[in-house]
Amino acid sequence: MPRQYLIFFICSFFLFEFAYAKGIADCRVIVGGTTECNPYGSKLIWAKEVKYDKDSKKLIISKTLPVPEKPKVKIISVAELIERYVKVENPLRFALPPEDTSVKKTAVSDVFDKNVTVTEGNVTKQKILLSNYTVVSGDVLSKIANKFYLKTRELMHFNHLDKKSKLKIGKILKIPLPQKIVDAITTAEYTIESGDTLLSIAYKFKIEPDELLKFNNIKSNTSIQKGKKLKLPLPYVKKRAKAKKRKSKDVKMLRGFGKRKLRVTATAYSSHRGQTDKTPFLAAWNNRLRPGMKIIAVSRDMLTRYGMKNGTRVRIGGLPGYYRVRDKMNKRYRKRIDIYMGINRRKALRWGRRSVVIYW
């Protein structure tokens, strides 16, 4: 009898452990980057028949069942939880009025949605809304696509173009956006309509509300009126303004420097024997060259005819800083300079040959 009770107790223990193990997830060690874990231990044995060996006084598993496929548990990161369950509210100063909830729903996705639902009779179709854009000087496909938040291949698809297609000034391109949005992006100006708010306008053109305020020199509590025009700080507008400001600064600095200016052909060289002579770090007048120095070599006529000499300080249009004349070029060159690029041969090759204005 005691032996039978022992066997019954051991079998009950195994069954209890098995039932309890099914409800426990064995995902005890989770590190950063873990996406899945195994809820069951690898040592779990599914037994079909257990016998007791009298000689060894041990339980022996004589038959086992096939181990089922181990399910996996997906690990959700903190970032995913925040995106899924935490709602981020806009600042109160940009809040939409209660009666203008329709604007909030159509602020981003609907304005830039290429598909418009059209109902004809009992049939509902998806119709692509296309508007016109006129090609201007300097336009290329990639530039136009970026301007209207499109991919180049999308723009080519809507206009039946390929990579070899050439754009002509005045050509009409089809843009999958409402015409008023296309016009506003083209001119970088938006005329305020009834129901518009600063936040809804910013959402329409995918720009930050703070940038819109700063670009138009208005305060957050300023009321906007219907019919008033706002300047849009679109990416291409900011890039153009930045380049214009940098050019204006360079021109201003150039105008205030030197008494003479001359347009010359500018090339570049580095301290390699293929581009100089047998002494690549020794220039004319025994000047020692070191990478990082702002030095130019000039043609002989720049010394005899235009009054330059060893050590003359020069400004080059389009390049920052000042350069010093420390080297001379071959006698066959005229009205030419060679810009020193240290030991960066690739940079010298990329520079190529350009026409620049120098001041001294």
**Whether residue 343 sits in one domain with residue 264:** yes
pLDDT tens sequence across 139-174: 889 889 989 989 999 999 999 988 788 888 999 999
C-beta separation of 299 from 274 below 8 A: no
- Report the CATH number that the domain containing residue 347 is assigned in CATH: 2.40.40.10
- Reading the block at residue 120, the tokens are 């004809």
**Whether residue 343 sits in one domain with residue 285:** yes
278 compared with 40, residue with greater pLDDT:
278
Within-domain flag for 21: yes
Q: Which domain holds residue 118?
A: 112-175
CA distance 180 to 159: 19
**Whether residue 354 sits in one domain with residue 264:** yes
Q: Is pLDDT of 303 > 50?
A: yes
Within-domain flag for 81: no
Within-domain flag for 145: yes
pLDDT for res 93: 39
C-beta separation of 27 from 39 below 8 A: yes
Within-domain flag for 332: yes
**Whether residue 212 sits in one domain with residue 170:** no
Strand-pair partners of 61: 50
Within-domain flag for 124: yes
**Whether residue 350 sits in one domain with residue 261:** yes
Contacts for 8-12: CB closer than 8 Å, 24+ residues apart? 10/50, 10/59, 11/50
- Which is it for strands 323-328 and 295-298: parallel, antiparallel or unpaired? parallel
- Report the CATH number that the domain containing residue 200 is assigned in CATH: 3.10.350.10
Average pLDDT over residues 222-246: 84
Q: Among 209, 244, 279, identify where a domain stops.
A: 244
**Whether residue 45 sits in one domain with residue 10:** yes
Query: What stretches of 280-335 adopt beta strand conformation (E)?
Result: 295-298, 313-316, 323-328
Within-domain flag for 87: no
Q: Is pLDDT of 273 > 90?
A: no
CA distance 356 to 338: 12
**Whether residue 299 sits in one domain with residue 344:** yes
Q: Is 284 helix (H, G, I), strand (E, B) or coil?
A: helix
Identify the CA nearest to 148 among candidates 166, 162, 129, 165. Answer: 129
pLDDT tens sequence across 8-36: 666 665 555 554 444 444 455 555 555 66
- Amino acid, res. 110: D
**Whether residue 350 sits in one domain with residue 265:** yes
Burial class (CB in 10 A: 0-12, 13-18, 19+), 79: exposed
Element of type H or E holding 117: strand 115-120
Q: Among 244, 266, 297, identify where a domain stops.
A: 244
Provide the number of structural domains found in the chain.
Answer: 4
Q: Which of 19-23, 227-231, 336-340 shows the lowest per-residue confidence on average (mean pLDDT)?
A: 19-23
**Whether residue 170 sits in one domain with residue 306:** no
**Whether residue 133 sits in one domain with residue 185:** no
Identify the CA nearest to 107 among candidates 184, 206, 204. Answer: 204
The pTM assigned to this predicted structure is: 0.42
**Whether residue 70 sits in one domain with residue 13:** yes
CA distance 148 to 95: 27
Q: Among 153, 175, 197, identify where a domain stops.
A: 175
pLDDT tens sequence across 61-99: 555 556 566 555 566 666 666 666 666 554 443 444 444
Taking the mean position of all CA atoms in its chain, how far away is CA 212? 21
C-beta separation of 198 from 170 below 8 A: no
Q: Is pLDDT of 41 > 80?
A: no
Within-domain flag for 14: yes
